[in-house]
Chain A
Amino acid sequence: EAQVTQNPRYLITVTGKKLTVTCSQNMNHEYMSWYRQDPGLGLRQIYYSMNVEVTDKGDVPEGYKVSRKEKRNFPLILESPSPNQTSLYFCASSPTTDRVWNEQFFGPGTRLTVL
Chain B
Amino acid sequence: ILNVEQSPQSLHVQEGDSTNFTCSFPSSNFYALHWYRWETAKSPEALFVMTLNGDEKKKGRISATLNTKEGYSYLYIKGSQPEDSATYLCAFYSGGKLIFGQGTELSVKP
Number of interface residues of B (CB under 8 A): 22
| A102 on interface, CB distance cutoff 8 Å | yes
- Please name the residue on chain A nearest to B46 by beta carbon: A103
* Complex CA–CA separation, A108 to B51 (angstroms): 27
Q: Mark B66-110, 1 if CB is under 8 A from A, else 0.
A: 000000000000000000000001010100111111110000000
Number of interface residues of A (CB under 8 A): 26
**Interchain CB contact (< 8 A) of A45 among B34, B44, B97, B101:** B97
* Complex CA–CA separation, A42 to B36 (angstroms): 12
Which residues of chain B from 6 to 57 have a CB within 8 Å of any chain A CB?
Answer: 31-32, 34, 36, 43-46, 49, 51
Contact A90–B100 (Cβ < 8 Å): no
6 closest Cβ pairs, A-B complex: A103-B46, A106-B43, A42-B102, A43-B100, A101-B32, A101-B93
